[in-house]
Structure formats: structure tokens, C-alpha cells
A and B are shown apart, each in its own frame.
Chain A
Amino acid sequence: MDSEWVPPIVITSIWAFIGIICPFFARGPNRGVTQCCLMLTAATCWLFWLCCYMTQLNPLIGPKLSMVEIMIMAREWGNEIKDSMDIVV
């Protein structure tokens, strides 16, 4: 269960670094503009990623695939076609 949280934590911390830590290192005559740009970039990009991630956390519908596509999935993505199915409730 813990490994589930790794990607969100990693990505959030990357954007937090860009948005909160990096502005302190801004230098030069346009310091204010650079800081503002960094913070805004981090905030908007993180929010965007978050919406996309949360949409897929608990999907309410699944994709409708043709049989060919399912067989390709099985071959290319390593899902074996089993002889019996384990049903998980």
C-alpha cells in the first residue's frame, strides 16, 4: 500500500521545490518577476497534474476495447491470457 503513494509524493515534492525553494535563489534585476513566475508555474502545473491524477484514482467506467486491442494488450503489455479467471470482489 505504501508504494501507491510514492508517485504523488515525488511529484508534489518536485513542484514544491520549484515553487517554494527555488524563488529564494532568484537573483538579478528581475528578481521579483522570476520569483513570481516560478511560484505560479509550480502552482498551476501541480494543480493540473493533481486533477489528472485524481480523476484516475477511482475510475467509474472502463475503456471499451475491441478484441484485437485486448489481444494486443495481452501481447505487448505482458498480460497473459489465462485459462481461468480470478475474480476479486
Chain B
Amino acid sequence: MGDMFRSEKMALCQLFIQPEAAYASIAELGESGCVQFRDLNDEVSAFQRKYVTEVRRCDDMERRLRYVESEMKKDEVDVPVLKAEEEPSAPNPREAVDLEAQLEKTDNELREMSANGASLAANFRHMQELKSVLVNTEGFFSDQEVINLDSNRRLDPEDPAQAPGAAQRGQLAFVAGVIKLERFFSFERMLWRISRGNIFLRRADIDGLVEDEETGRPVLKTVFVAFFQGEQLKQRIKKVCTGYHAAVYPCPSAHAERLEMIKDVNVRLEDLKLVLSQSADHRSRVLNSASKHLPRWSIMVRKMKAIYHILNFFNPDVTGKCLIGEGWVPTNDIATVQEALARASKVSESSIPAFMNVIETNEMPPTYTRTNKFTNGFQNLVDSYGMASYREVNPALYACITFPFLFAVMFGDLGHGLILLLFASWLIIKEKQLASIKEEIFNIFFGGRYIILLMGIFSIYTGFIYNDVFSKSMNIFGSAWHMNYTRDTVEDASLKYITLRPNDTVYKTYPFGMDPIWQLADNKIIFLNTFKMKLSIIVGVVHMIFGVTMSVVNFAYYKKYASIFLEFLPQVLFLMLLFGYMVFMMFFKWVTYNDTVEGPLSPACAPSILILFINMILQGSQDTPEPCKEFMFEGQKSIQQVFVVIAIICIPWMLLGKPLYILLKRKISGAPPPKPQGGGGEGHGDDDAMGEIFIHQAIHTIEYVLSTVSHTASYLRLWALWHATQLSEVLWNMVFSMGFKYDSYIGGALIYVFFGAWALLTVGILVLIEGLSAFLHTLRLHWVEFMSKFYEGAGYAFEPFAFKTILDVSEDD
């Protein structure tokens, strides 16, 4: 049922579900997305609810999933995107247990591998540093004939060259290690200080960058060897090394030993490399296999969590045999809900089927309007102002057409409208591909693609009528003006301009749109101004009368028939008798006064409608020179007086009608005097005190009376913003036509450049900025001038439990 006339009927339903079937039922309802559940366990804290352990399990699974996902991101493993059809349904409890086990296994494996990998990498680094120490100290030791300079050397009793005593005195020992290059210099100074200059330090930089253990970033490191004498110094050096995070490595002083150690280290390095690559392979295998399932798993877990969250809303009944839940369901969807419950009962093979019954309530239901992708944009525009009250008449239905129309009155240019149309058509034709783009500003335009399409179509129409194509006019039907001046007049050199007089130059009316001659005229703006201003007022008054008439529909539906007589009638009479009459005067003036007659109906005598209107209200009059008459037709003066009197009567009618009626009603029904409500809101409750009602009505009356004037004038923005689009003429004259002034090939190249500039400015300023500005003003006209005449907007939105919305929301996080 695509009826957007008013929001849908809602029913408050009670669901009775068996605990075994509960999970499956909520899963089915989540897929169908028709029910807005109410929290029956409001007072209970989150930790005391029935299904809190299950929610915790889901949280656990989500945590593991997040960890796996982050590991995948670190390794840049691609996670495939699921298409909508492949979305898995929520897992039943058996599958959930399987899923949990699998997730745990994957999670543990990954954590173990990470830990192992870290320790292997540290090992690898140590080996590399040792190797660089061994390699770089070649240079230090080969210069000197130091054979026994190993600080860790063992006394070789068979070596006769060694004197045991020599080890204790006069023999240099050394410490070799690796330190970060940036720290080396202060390290050197520190060693100098503690040894009072008795340490000999040499260093050799390691080529290339080495990974630093603490930060993981590559840094420059250097190998150092510190030569010293004595045990005490050794301890001190070792302490300084620890303080500067320098890694000390055992380095044999004998050349042969060093070579052997280098060989050994190389072998171990090769082994480690092998092990590292194998573990990297294993890790990527695990991650790849997990990545295939990850989207499905995460959707399943999110659905599960949502289901348990909703199950926590349910109340176990007294006997404990079934769960009771409450929710709002659109009346048209009750059958869908029952089918979903039946399906769930079959799946879970419960003995007693779940059932649902509708309960009567006085609470205001949520507002739900079914929209398709076309009407969705317009409904959003209206909802941004305020959600419609339950079963109130829906302005979005009319906004589908009036919004683009009012936009087009301001935007009216065939060329710019064509640009909008092409842009919107591209967005619509490529709907499916473009729907997946997440960028925010693009999404705003994409969401409004049907709005932009209609705005483009209407702008093309109004551009055709305004005869404005990028500030040029089209002569399709033949101009209505022709000149019939003689040769002498035309070739007279002293004349610069001639202003045509309509009486002998007009022979017909241009049938569709504005005559193209006005594009050439210097006094174009004067003529177009009167046209546009009158047009704006006419459109505005019609729009407002439409708005006031909508309130009748509301009154009739809510059965407030008295309000039709007490509120609607005076409002519409006031509006029509004053401003409707002004519109009538505009049409009358268009028809009566022309240039072919002399006397009172000639253009010189055409009265200003604004002056007539002001004089009508203020009962003033104007002196008019002969032969002009003050009024346009016989009896105008008396008609105007009658209208003003009736309009003035409407004011106390609006002010006192409804409150007096309520007063009488209460006296007749003999209700006890109600207590005054603290903080009266917008709603007129039946329990309001009389004083409140009078004040409310006074505010409404003043607001309405003033708004008739201010809103009518506000519609002049339709004329004002049209002026902004005349900038296209400036662009043409100042930018594009410059390119026409040059001949031959230079001209060709210059036209290319000028066209580029002109096109950029047209799209950037005229289409984008003017378009946005006109959009905003049209929105304001709808919200304030149109909807304030009848719209209450005190409802709240219907937010059904649907997996689609939940998954979309969590994806945006």
C-alpha cells in the first residue's frame, strides 16, 4: 500500500513465546523487521537480566573477532565483502556453540603465533647483532698482536706463554657490544668519566638499519669495543652498558675462534630464517582461511547479540512456561509477524505455537510511513523538521512535487536544469554501484538523487518558460513584437535607443513563456520584476491556502469538527479575503489595462496594487489626476470595505471562538474544575485550566494573523533568488564572449580556455552554490510557511527491530 497520505495504523501487540522457540522467533522477527519491541524490564539493571550470560558470550566472541580482524589488517589480508544475498541468518544455539569453539581456536592460535613470532624475531636480532659484532671487531683486533685479550678467557695451563700473574696485571680486557648510534656519544662521555680516561673505545657503524627491540622501528646502530684494565672497571662498564641499553656480546679474541663463531652464527641465522619464514607462512595460512569466514561470522555474532538483547526485554510469566513481550506492529504487517512466529515454532519444534494478540491502549503509537526509494528523500526532508504525529496528514506527499517546483521557480534556467538532470540521472543509473560508497558528503547527494532529478526536470520547464538558457533566449514561436519604424528613424544617427510602445508593435502574445525580445532589452529587469513579484505572491498565497486547507483534513480525522468552524473558517476567510483578493487584483490588472486605449485604462493610469492594498487596510485614499480613476472597477471601494470588515471580525472569532466553546462544553458536562498543569507544553490537553487555553489561543491567533502578512512577503524570496541566477548573464558577457573576439587559430585556442573558465564558474557558482541556496530557501518555505499552517509534528519515529538497520549501524562504527 503506497499511500503516503497519512502515517500507518499501528497496533500494540503482546507476544507469548515458548522459551525454546524464543530465540528462533526473535531471529525470524529480526529478518522481517516489522516490530518495535518495548523494554518490559526497565527497572532491572543490565546485570540482572535473564540472558546476561549469553550477551557476555557474544561480547567475548566479538572481542575475539576484533582481534582476528586487527591481525588481518596488520598483515593486509583482504576481507571479502559479503553481498546482501549471502548474508547468513542468526545461528541457532548448536551452531552458536560451534562458532564459539572455532573462534576460540583461531584466536588462541593467532595469539600463540604472535608470541612465538616475537620471541623468534628477538632471537634473530640478537644473532644478527652478534654477527655484526664479530665481523666488525675484525678491524680492531687485527691491528694489534693481541692474542689473549679475551676478558672471558680461560686460563690455559698448557700454554707456556701465559704467565698466571700477567693476567692480573697489565693485560687489557675488553667488552664488545652494540648500541644505538644516537646514544653512542653520551655513552662514550659517560665511560670517559667513570674511568677517568682509562678506557679506550672504538666503534664501527653497522651498515643499514637494524630493527630496535623497544619501538620496532629501524634505527642506526653501531658496534663498539671498550678496552680497559682491571675487574672494577669491568663491573662499572657493564653497569653503564645496562643503563644505556647496549647489548653486550661475548666476543673471542682469538682470530680462529672468531671465525668459527661467525660460521656458527651464520648457520644459526639460516636456521632462524627458515623457522621465521615457516611461521610466517603458517600465520598467513591461518589468517587467509579465517578471512573467508570472517564476514559471515561477524554478521552471525552481531545478529545473535541483537537477539539476546531483545530477549532481555521479555518478561517471563508467572508460571515460567512462556515469555511475554510487547511491541508496536503496523496493522498491515500483523500477518507477516504471525507467519514469522509460525515459521519459528516449526523450526524449533516446540509443542505449543507462539501467538500474538492485539491490546487496546491510549498511548500514542510511533509514526511509520512506508516509503519507496523515490519518496524516501522527501519524507526525510519533512521528518527533519519534526516527526509527524500519529496519523496526521503527511506533507511529504505534496512535497514530492511542490518542493522541486518552488526550487525551479528560483533556479529557472534550462541549461543549469539540464546539468542537474544529467547529474541525477547518472546517480540513478549507477545506483547499485554507488550505493556502497561510504563518504559522507557524497552520501548526502546520493540520498537525494530523486529530489535532484525532479528539481532538474522542473528547472528545465521553468527555464523554458522564463526563456533562459545559460542567459540566452530561444525564439521558437516567433516574437510577439515587431518594429514598424521608418527608414529615416532607424538610420538616424542621433538616436541611440528606442523604447517600443506596445500599442503598435505587439500583434500577438508569445504563447509559451517569455518573449525572446526581452533578452535584448535594456529595461528587461523592470518588466521581469513585475512579473516575478506577482508570480511569487500568487504561488505563495495558493500554497498557503493549500496548507490551511490541510488542517481541515486533520480536524476531520481527529473528530474535532468544532475546530473546523472555529479555527479553520476564520483563518481561511482572513487569508482569502485579504491576500486572495490581492491575487485577484493582480489578475484583474493584467487583463484590464493595456496600451491600445487612452483614458482610465491606459498604462499611465494603471494603479499600483500594493498602494491599493495598503489603502484598503488603512481605509486611506489616494488622489489621482484626471482621467485616471483610483479604483479598477465599479464598486471596488464598497467590496473592499466589506472584505476588511469581515476580516476584522475573523480576528476575535479566532481569538475567542475555541476557548468559549470549551468553556461551554465543560459547563454542560459538569466536569470538576481541572488542576492547572505545571509547564504547559504545545499540546492542548483536555485537562488544561481555562486561563491556559485562552492564552494558547491568543498566541495562536496573533501568530496566525501576523504570519499571513509575513509569510506572504516571505514568498518574495522566489523573486529575490531568481535575481541571483542572472549572474549567468554576467558570466556570459564577461567571460565567454571574450573568447569570440579573436579570429583564426588563436581564437580557437582562446575559446577553449574561456569555455573552461565559464564552465567551471557556471557549475561551481551557479549550479552548486545557487542550487544549494535555492534548496535551502525552498526547504524553509515548506517548513515555515507551509507546514506551520497545519502540521503538529509531535510524534516519534517507528524503529523496528530489523537486522538490516543493526548491521548497517554497526558497519558505520
Interface of A with B (CB < 8 Å)? 4, 7-8, 11, 28-33, 36-37, 40-41, 44-45, 47-49, 51-67, 69-71, 73-74, 77, 79, 81-89
Please report the C-alpha to C-alpha distance between residue A47 and residue B505 in the assembled complex, in whole angstroms. Answer: 27
Contact of A63 among B495, B504, B521, B531 (CB under 8 A): B521
Let me know if B524 and A82 touch, CB within 8 A.
no
**Nearest chain A residue, comparing its CB with the CB of B601:** A58
Chain A residue contacts of B375, Cβ below 8 A: 30, 33
Not counting A51-B538, A56-B515, a sample of 9 additional A-B residue pairs whose C-beta atoms are within 8 angstroms of each other reads A8-B511, A30-B374, A36-B400, A47-B539, A60-B593, A62-B501, A62-B506, A64-B499, A65-B497
Let me know if B481 and A63 touch, CB within 8 A.
yes
Please report the C-alpha to C-alpha distance between residue A36 and residue B375 in the assembled complex, in whole angstroms. Answer: 12
Let me know if B481 and A45 touch, CB within 8 A.
no
Report if A60-B522 is in contact (Cβ < 8 Å); known contacts: A44-B401, A44-B405.
Answer: no
Let me know if A70 and B498 touch, CB within 8 A.
yes
Contact of A36 among B372, B398, B502, B514 (CB under 8 A): B398
Let me know if A55 and B501 touch, CB within 8 A.
no
Q: Give the size category of B's interface with A.
A: 35 or more
Return 15 A-B CB contacts under 8 Å, by A number. Answer: A29-B1, A33-B400, A36-B398, A44-B402, A49-B465, A52-B535, A56-B510, A63-B523, A65-B498, A67-B495, A79-B482, A82-B484, A84-B486, A85-B484, A87-B504
Q: How many A-B residue pairs have CB under 8 A?
A: 191
Report if A73-B483 is in contact (Cβ < 8 Å); known contacts: A33-B400, A67-B498.
Answer: yes
Let me know if A61 and B486 touch, CB within 8 A.
no
B591 at the interface (CB under 8 A from A): yes
Chain B residue contacts of A65, Cβ below 8 A: 483, 497-500, 517, 520-522
Per-residue contact bits, chain B 113-131, to A (CB 8 Å; 1 contact, 0 not): 0000000000000000000
Report if A51-B486 is in contact (Cβ < 8 Å); known contacts: A37-B401, A40-B398, A65-B498.
Answer: no
Please report the C-alpha to C-alpha distance between residue A74 and residue B110 in the assembled complex, in whole angstroms. Answer: 88
Which residues between 468 and 507 of chain B lie within 8 Å of chain A, taking CB atoms? Answer: 475, 478-487, 490, 492, 495-506
B542 at the interface (CB under 8 A from A): yes
Please report the C-alpha to C-alpha distance between residue A63 and residue B539 in the assembled complex, in whole angstroms. Answer: 26
Please report the C-alpha to C-alpha distance between residue A31 and residue B401 in the assembled complex, in whole angstroms. Answer: 15
Report if A54-B478 is in contact (Cβ < 8 Å); known contacts: A61-B523, A66-B496.
Answer: no
Chain A residue contacts of B606, Cβ below 8 A: 60
Report if A51-B534 is in contact (Cβ < 8 Å); known contacts: A7-B511, A61-B526, A67-B495.
Answer: yes
Chain A residue contacts of B372, Cβ below 8 A: 30
Chain B residue contacts of A89, Cβ below 8 A: 503
- Closest CB-CB distance, B774 to chain A, in whole Å? 16
B508 at the interface (CB under 8 A from A): yes
Please report the C-alpha to C-alpha distance between residue A61 and residue B518 in the assembled complex, in whole angstroms. Answer: 11
Which residues between 1 and 45 of chain B lie within 8 Å of chain A, taking CB atoms? Answer: 1-5
Let me know if A69 and B520 touch, CB within 8 A.
yes
Report if A63-B509 is in contact (Cβ < 8 Å); known contacts: A51-B534, A54-B591, A74-B483.
Answer: no
B192 at the interface (CB under 8 A from A): no
Contact of A33 among B4, B466, B498 (CB under 8 A): B4
**Nearest chain A residue, comparing its CB with the CB of B475:** A77
Please report the C-alpha to C-alpha distance between residue A36 and residue B356 in the assembled complex, in whole angstroms. Answer: 37
B512 at the interface (CB under 8 A from A): yes
